[in-house]
Structure 1
Amino acid sequence: MGGGAWPTARLGQTGPMPGLAFLALVSSVLLGISDYLGGALSRRVPLIIVLLGSQVVASMAIAARLLVDPFRGDLADAVMWGSIAGLAQAIGVAALFRGLAIGTMGVVAPVSALSVLVPVSVGLATGDTIGPLLGVGLAVAVVGSVLATGPEFGRRRPAASGDYAFVAGRPPRRAAQSIALALIAAAGFGTSQVGLARGAAADLTTTLVMTAVVVLGVYIVAFSAWIHVRLRGAAARLHRGRPAMPALVPMRIRGRDAVAIASIGMLVYLANAAYGTAAQAGTLSVVAVLASLYPAVVALLSWRLLGERLRPVQTAGVVLVLAGVAAIAAGSAA
């Protein structure tokens, strides 16, 4: 869910690229919209509710796949790698949504796209070599990250209206937290990509189902812990004779918020389905580059809908990060 597409293609595949390239681009657009919605909603709705609600919808969509392709619990590799991917994805999505909620979306999203470095590093550790394009991409992405994130630590922003995530008077700390969360998201998504790719080699459906089940399980446990903490806090306040909010959720979940939460889950499922179709039948170098452009969608939406403004050096850094990620994706797939 969110933050990246599933690398299920084999190297050297070719196909009718115009339509497949369009599907990969659609995947980026859908992932970008879902990430923007997740970050924006997490500014006014508790993060765990956004995560759990959207994952329930995504899991239901993935479960429909079982009607045409059965689950193979006897395939140990698919079960193991799917579980690893699920744990990493749960952490990555939670970190990304929180980072987008408290930071500058146009910076956080591109930094999270550095997730591509994880599968590339694994490939290098297992014998892959660094080609010219891959090497240039790595250097450009690192330079772009420094340019994009550096000014954040000196930026001063007022708290957003109705936004409980921002703490007035401490923007440098929030900036540091958002960048750290973006890096955690990148590590989570990259690890998830590796797990999904390894598991898909045994059985794609089993891997995807295990991933969805583990993500859902992690969020159910987190939601239960969140409820427990709220109830204990309310009981302690009542014991001291202070008023305590009886509702488990600190604010009313509006109908449009519920629709948006459900949309996040469905958008991620559709994005990954579009990517999987393109990657399994198309040229991986082209598909991977187009599918890595989702942070540009997040940055565009945050600029248009939230009025975010980046400094010129940050804009240059974001462009370099996206160019570097695209080069890394093309270089590692070539």
Structure 2
Amino acid sequence: MAIALAITAAACWGLSDFLAGLASRRVAVPIVLLLVEGGGLLVVATITVASGEPFFTETRDALSAIGGGLAGVLALGCFYRALAIGTMSVVAPISATGAALPVVAGVISGDRPSLIAAAGLAAIVIGVVLASRQEHADAEAAAAGRTAIVLALISAVGFGGFFVLTNAPADASVLWTITLARAAPIPLVAAVVLAQRPRARPSRRLALGIAAVGTIDLAATSLVILANTKGDLSVVGVLGGMYPVATVLLAAVVLHERLARLQQVGVVLALGGIAAVAAG
């Protein structure tokens, strides 16, 4: 069950990231981030209140969920900007290297993946590294590519922090973990939008579309947090981190981004690693 939930979450994340990345090429990233976070918050807050689920009994769980939300929004902000200025098929796999954080946390907490699963995790990590290799046409593109890689690495740390920080509170309440993780960053992102007053603003139709992307992202977040309550953190974290596979495929089909041979090998390794983890 945990494996299926994590893989589904990865597919949803890959789709939402691709759509948000496209939007970030037309609209200022803070606005995209605010709409994505706000759209997801509206849905999950409604569900949480309607369910009547009790709030956390432990303050540390609430604080951990808030911390996870802040780490996640930092990751998304850097990630969306990287998608806007870089090549999606390069940026997305690099962002998944944050899978190393939950793996380490899982092992420290006592998780012991099988030999097959461990080999799968290694294949996934190697795969995303190979998928990140790219040559640039000119100096300007190379500079943008380097900036995108740095932002993607920062987002990797943030995503890894999100997985780790939301693991414990999710055991107490999945709904409240998601709600707090979504609500906590909203004032910060709104303040950034007000301070920057970005000129690139969406039309009403585009704004609604971006907010809808937030519900897809919410579905992914919900699925991976639920998966964490049913399986090993190390396995769920890496499988959930395989969202770049979907993003790379969408970029190839929709944007006609071309993958070099090493990148193709990386995608195959990542897919093989997912199969190995599932088998283990």
Please indicate the TM-score interval, normalised by the length of the shorter structure. Answer: 0.7 to 0.9
* 2:64 aligned residue: 81
Matched, 1:72 2:24: no
Deviation at 1:69, TM superposition (A): 3.1
Q: State whether residues 86 and 192 of structure 1, in contact with CA within 8 Å, keep that contact through their aligned partners in structure 2.
A: yes
List runs of 5+ in structure 1 lacking aligned partners: 1-13, 158-168, 228-248
Q: Deviations over 1:15-34 (max 9, x none)?
A: xx9xx94x655433322211
Deviation at 1:85, TM superposition (A): 0.3
Of 62, 68, 75, the residue aligned with 1:92 is: 75
Distance 1:174 1:74, change over 3 A: same
Distance 1:287 1:251, change over 3 A: closer
Higher mean Cα deviation, 44-53 or 101-110? 101-110
When the two structures are superposed, what TM-score results if normalisation uses the length of structure 2? 0.84
Higher mean Cα deviation, 101-110 or 278-287? 278-287
Q: 2 CA distance for matches of 1:186 and 1:294? A: 12
Of 49, 71, 80, the residue aligned with 2:31 is: 49
* 2:141 aligned residue: 171
Matched, 1:105 2:88: yes
Deviation at 1:118, TM superposition (A): 0.8
Q: Matches of residues 20-35 of structure 1 in structure 2 within 5 Å? A: 21=4, 25-35=7-17
Deviation at 1:290, TM superposition (A): 6.2
* 1:133 aligned residue: 116
Of 133, 140, 156, the residue aligned with 2:137 is: 156
Q: Matches of residues 1-334 of structure 1 in structure 2 within 5 Å? A: 21=4, 25-64=7-46, 65-70=48-53, 72=55, 74-129=57-112, 131-133=114-116, 135-150=118-133, 152=134, 154-156=135-137, 169-227=139-197, 249-251=198-200, 253-275=202-224, 291-324=240-273
AA partner of residue 125 (structure 1): I
Deviation at 1:258, TM superposition (A): 1.4
* 1:238 aligned residue: none
Distance 1:257 1:67, change over 3 A: same
Deviation at 1:127, TM superposition (A): 4.6
Distance 1:308 1:70, change over 3 A: same
Counting matched residue pairs gives 279
Q: Which has the larger radius of gyration?
A: 1
Q: 2 CA distance for matches of 1:68 and 1:142? A: 38
Q: 1 CA distance for matches of 2:25 and 2:169? A: 35
When the two structures are superposed, what TM-score results if normalisation uses the length of structure 1? 0.72
Distance 1:210 1:217, change over 3 A: same
List runs of 5+ in structure 2 lacking aligned partners: none
Q: 2 CA distance for matches of 1:210 and 1:310? A: 38
Q: 1 CA distance for matches of 2:66 and 2:11? A: 27
Q: 1 CA distance for matches of 2:56 and 2:168? A: 16
Deviation at 1:86, TM superposition (A): 0.9
Q: Deviations over 1:170-226 (max 9, x none)?
A: 111211122222222121111111111111223333322221121212212222332
Q: 1 CA distance for matches of 2:29 and 2:161? A: 22
Q: 1 CA distance for matches of 2:162 and 2:223? A: 18
Q: 2 CA distance for matches of 1:104 and 1:202? A: 39
Q: Deviations over 1:37-92 (max 9, x none)?
A: 11111111100010001211111111112211345255212211111101110111
* Structure with the higher helix share, 1 or 2: 2
- Superposition RMSD in Å: 3.2
Q: State whether residues 34 and 263 of structure 1, in contact with CA within 8 Å, keep that contact through their aligned partners in structure 2.
A: no
Distance 1:204 1:77, change over 3 A: farther
Q: State whether residues 59 and 216 of structure 1, in contact with CA within 8 Å, keep that contact through their aligned partners in structure 2.
A: no
SS at match of 1:93: helix
Deviation at 1:113, TM superposition (A): 2.0
